Structures are given as C-alpha cells and as structure tokens.
Structure 1
C-alpha cells in the first residue's frame, strides 16, 4: 500500500475551488479544508477526504425530530446541541489548523464543555454524537467514525438507521473504549446519563 503524500506544505495552502481538484491519495489537514471554496460537503478522517452524500427527505425528517427533542430539552442548560453542517475538529496533539487531520460533520452533536466551542464549531470531543445512516455511507459511520470518536473521547455515539428502524448506542467506559448497549427499535425509549431526564421516544422517531 502506497504511503499518502503530504499535500501541501504548511507554508502553502492553496484555494481549491473545484471538487475535481481534490487528490484523494493525498493527506489533508483542517488548514487545507478551510481553503475549499466549492459547494460540495466534505469530511476529513485521519487526513483522508470523504464526500458527504446528500440527505434524503426521510433523513432530514429524522434529523429534525431528534434535534428538536434535544434542543427543547436543553433550553437554558449549559449543554448545547448543534446540527449539520457543523464542523467538529478532533485534534490529536496540537490544535493548530495545520495539525488537525480529522474534521467531521455529524448530524447532531451535544457539547457540554463551553470551552470547546468557537466561531468555527467545536474543537475536541462532543459529549454526544448522533449519526443518521444514509445509503452509501454506512461503512464510513460504522468503521472510520467509530474509531475517531472513540480515540477522541466522545462519551456517547448514537447510530440511527432509518431503513432498519433501529437505534444503537456506544458508551465510552473508564478505559476509553466504546461499550455497546442493546439494539433499540420502535416501542423503546432512549435515555442517557449525560442528560438526566431526557427521553427520546423511538415511536416518534420512526413513525413514518
């Protein structure tokens, strides 16, 4: 397997105005990402570019239900909820733009540490990350993002499958590893220790 070539140097981050100019064999940082001027949405996972598929109506409806439940519950709380497009930067060491090689746009995030929020989004692990699976990108959510969310220290990772009408939650343990909970579906209710009192009724999430 060939080694990804660095692109570009830290002294030269050119503007990329056309998605066709992306070199998928190259390694990109957040500094590169900030110079993308095309309309297509992209994520960077461990330096590699991933295209984001356009959400369909069912995805957007499910997103709206989950986001609104969280937003209404958190009104006036120290924790805040944000929905895509919203950049989450996951630095490993330095927080300098050129040293960050994972920038994702989860469907929904809950952030309780206000110091992680700035005008460009979130830098560091959110407390809760919600991904609503879309056709064509399930592998990215289930494998690549699982790894970076676990490494970054995301406390809970929620995976929602519209086609299967299922909800799956990973909870970070004291050793920094995700532990799976049981599979939930229509008729079940989602709760979380991060937000005491919050209840998400999957009957409502999957009603259509």
Structure 2
C-alpha cells in the first residue's frame, strides 16, 4: 500500500526515534509499504518518521542512481544492487574526506542542495528478518544511509546548509509547510502547520 509522505513542518520529522523490538506489530507490512511508497515517489531512501512513525527504521534502494547519466558510470553502476532494510541502526564510525553531492528529500520537495558528508561509514543494524549485520560502505551508498539515519534523530539535509543558503530557500520551505507547494505523490501535512487552500 502506498502511504502518504509527511511533509516538512510536521513535528514528527524533528523527533528522536525509538528502537523497536521484533514483536513490533505488522513490521513486514510496514517495510513492504515503505518500499512501495518510496518507489512511487521516485526516492532512493525512506525513513519511518517520513510516514509519521517515530521508530528507528529506514529502507534504501539506490538502483535509481544506476540509471542516471553520470560521468563515473562504473561507480554508479554498483548502486544497482543495493537494497536494504535498516532496523535499529547504529553508525559506529564516519570517516574519510568530505565531498559535496546534491541531496533532496521526499519530505522537502523541489529543493535540492549540495551537502558535504564524509565518504565512508561503518554501520550495525538488523534486517527485516532480525539478522544482525555490520557493513562498511562508501560513496553514494554511505551518503544515502547518512541522510536516512539523520531522520532518526530529527535532522534534515537542510540543517547542513549555510545561513545564506537557508535564507534563500525559506520561502519554499514555508510553502511546503503550509501545503501550498505539493509534489505529485501522496502526502500528509501537519495539522499544526497546514493552511487550508
């Protein structure tokens, strides 16, 4: 089932998420719905808070990047087989050179900005079968995970922007939070910030 994506301005996007247990109700259905929702919105990652749930779960499928036109075809081709479910993840280490990449977010439509992030990370997490994993990742994979992981702490990619850049996008952010700027996919606005139009 395709679920509505929570838009910028909803307080749930700024909350720190809680760990879950393997007894969490309907988890398999939730994960399936997260992937369906992400694909319908042409995303490469989706975190539970973006569906209004303050739990430590996110999904990633970077295959969309592999189809894009890029200078480094080889590097992006490896993204075609990176599909994961992250439950109760913990980034153990982030390291390496910082590099810029234009990021966007399904909860913040029509805004894409360069964000500096470290190239490598080491992460521990459980998959959808509650099997524990440890992985070291680099490049775009590491970036997508850092972006989704931030959601679990109430952090958004726009928080990395300079005050000047932030000022330049403030009008768009206001329009998103008021429900004026709407993407083509199914969305939900905060009752506290949504202005009837």
With a CA cutoff of 8 Å and minimum separation of 6, indicate the structure with the bigger relative contact order: 2
Look at both structures and tell me which one has the larger radius of gyration over its CA atoms: 1
Q: Same fold (TM over 0.5)?
A: no
TM-score (norm 2): 0.25
The structure where helix makes up a greater share of residues is 2
